[in-house]
Amino acid sequence: MKPKNKLFSGKTLAILTGGGDTPALNSSIESIRNRASLIGYKVYGIRQGWKGLLGDGDILDLTHQPYDGWYGGTALRSSRTNPFPSKKNTENRVPQILRNIERYKIDVLVSIGGDDTNGAAKRLYETEGIPVIGFPKTIDNDLRTRTMHDYKGNKIEGVLCPGFPSAAKGVMEYAANLRTTAESHSRIIVLEVMGRDAGWLTGSACFGGAEMALIPEIEMTKERIEFFLESVKERYMSSPKKALIIAVSEGVRWFNPESNTTEVVCASSELDEYGHRRFGGVSGVIASEIFHKLKIEARAQISGYYARSGVCRNYDRRLTMTLADKVVDLLLREHYGQMPVINKIVNYQELEEFNTTSIDMGEIGNKCLPEEYYDTNKFCFTDAYIDFVSHIIGKPRFLEFNYDFPVVIPEDL
């Protein structure tokens, strides 16, 4: 007997990835593709984000193709193309996008992205009625997902975006490894961590042993810098091996005496199509100030793409599969303009469909680090943050070699 057609046979779902890559993108694509295929969709991949819907279009058929979801990054490639006019590109590309959606007969679009990509998807849904489902992603973890963190009876609004778990684990390991170098040279290492305007990712360096941290949410005014330097000196002098790792977010606003304001340090002033500058370099400014004011040897280390690259870690793999389960629910109910999310911060084993919900894409936006997660007086992350991140990346990783060799005194003394 010939099997009956599946529910959505004859329909096409297309997936795109926009913005910075993460180790969980291919896993997201594969998980969504597998589930959408099961209910009958033909699944397309749009190359290079919104760019693949411009001109003649750049579309691949993913339906019955092998796929490696453990491999980081995105096989569809990514771009920061904005469908809507911006300072950098004044052209309105929406007509081209609508034309290609029609030409390729795309019935549903799944946009995997952060605030920019999903913000554009939301606008296309609201203004043009394109059936879209947003899928969260960002190593910065600053896309509002309304994921509640239950900490000692308090409910804190957390965030859980695919990409963050793998990046956080990577940053933790990176910070842990730096310890041997810091100790060998009795140095302070200022470790710069991506994350744009939010300190979520920087905290994971502390999980790897960074003793102090600076985040974008707390401006480093002239007075605060003085207080910070005093604390650095104290921490360094009291550290048994005269070594210190300070994790700093790339988006830290640091006082600039020349302009008399606090500013982000940029690697380039050029804007992308969503109006963002490229951050980078604040660790160098801080290390040099430590050296000049405290006379302690300090070095800057930019972790940069290390956080974004490499394989998908277990938590992210399961997170993307769980969120893709929720995509199926949205598809079955033809509930568009929604983004699947995990509703509470849970351990790996609890990443299950019953812990998901979806939020209206109209509600997405940026969410900075909750104040409960950072201690402004001690320049470090709190136990509440440690609890949050330990659900996601497990145990902290510290490298430790405790020695107390006896000092040799020559006989002639």
Nearest residue to 165 (alpha-carbon basis) of 368, 345, 331, 398: 345
Opening angle at CA 262, ends 258 and 264, nearest 5: 105
Per CB under 6 A, which of residues 313..352 are in contact with ligand F6P? none
How near is the Cβ of 112 to ligand F6P at its closest, in Å? 13
Q: What is the DSSP string of 240-266?
A: TTS-EEEEEETT--EEETTTTEEE--E
Interface with ligand F6P (CB under 6 A), residue from 24, 194, 215, 339: 194
Question: In terms of CB distance, is 14 or 247 closer to ligand F6P?
Answer: 247
Stretch that binds ligand F6P, among 34-42, 134-142, 323-331, 394-402 (CB under 6 A): 134-142
Residue 248 structure tokens: 């700093």
Among residues 122, 169, 308, 391, the one that binds ligand F6P under rule CB under 6 A: 308
Choose, by CB under 6 A, the member of 146, 196, 318, 326 that binds ligand F6P.
196
Residue 102, C-beta contacts closer than 8 angstroms, at least 6 positions apart: none
Site for ligand F6P in 270-299 (CB under 6 A): 278-279
Cα separation, 205 vs 183, whole angstroms: 17
Q: With CB under 6 A as the contact rule, which of the stretches 138-146, 151-159, 381-389, 400-408 interacts with ligand F6P?
A: 138-146
Q: Shortest gap between Cβ of 194 and ligand F6P (angstroms)? A: 3
Q: What is the pairing mode between strands 12-17 and 298-302?
A: unpaired
Question: What length is written for the chain?
Answer: 413
**Residue number, 44 or 279, with CB nearest to ligand F6P:** 279
Q: What amino acid positions are annotated as catalytic residues?
A: 140
Toward ligand F6P, which CB reaches closer, 236 or 254?
A: 254
The smaller minimum CB distance to ligand F6P, of residues 131 and 216, is found at 216
Distance of CA 293 to the CA centre of its chain: 33
Question: Between residues 106 and 392, which has the closer beta carbon with respect to ligand F6P?
Answer: 392
Q: Tell me the closest approach of the beta carbon of residue 24 to ligand F6P, in angstroms.
A: 13
Q: Supply the minimum distance, in Å, between the C-beta of residue 264 and ligand F6P.
A: 10
Of residues 16 through 35, those in contact with ligand F6P by CB under 6 A are: 20
Our CB check for ligand F6P shows the closer of 27 and 138 to be 138
Residue 51 makes contact with ligand F6P by CB under 6 A: no
Count of residues interacting with ligand F6P (CB under 6 A): 11
CB 141 to ligand F6P: min, Å = 10
188-193 and 244-249 as β-strands: parallel, antiparallel, unpaired? Answer: parallel
Tell me which of 45, 51, 77, 140 binds ligand F6P, using CB under 6 A. 140
Find tokens 């291919």 and name the residue: 26
CA atoms within 13 A on the CB side of 113: 32
Host H or E run for residue 156:
strand 154-158
Alpha-carbon gap, residue 168 to 156, rounded angstroms = 19
> Nearest CA to 203 among 399, 2, 384?
384
Question: In angstroms, rounded to a whole number, what is the distance separating the alpha carbons of residues 242 and 183?
Answer: 7
Structure tokens of 399? 């490298």
Interface pick for ligand F6P out of 94, 97, 139, 206 (rule CB under 6 A): 139
248 near ligand F6P (CB under 6 A)? no
Task: Name the β-bridge partners of 261.
Answer: 256
Choosing from 31, 111, 138, 320, the residue that interacts with ligand F6P (CB under 6 A) is 138
Strand partners, 222: none
Structure tokens at 135: 């899928």
Query: Which residues of the shown chain bind ligand F6P in the complex (CB under 6 A)?
Result: 20, 138-140, 194-196, 250, 278-279, 308
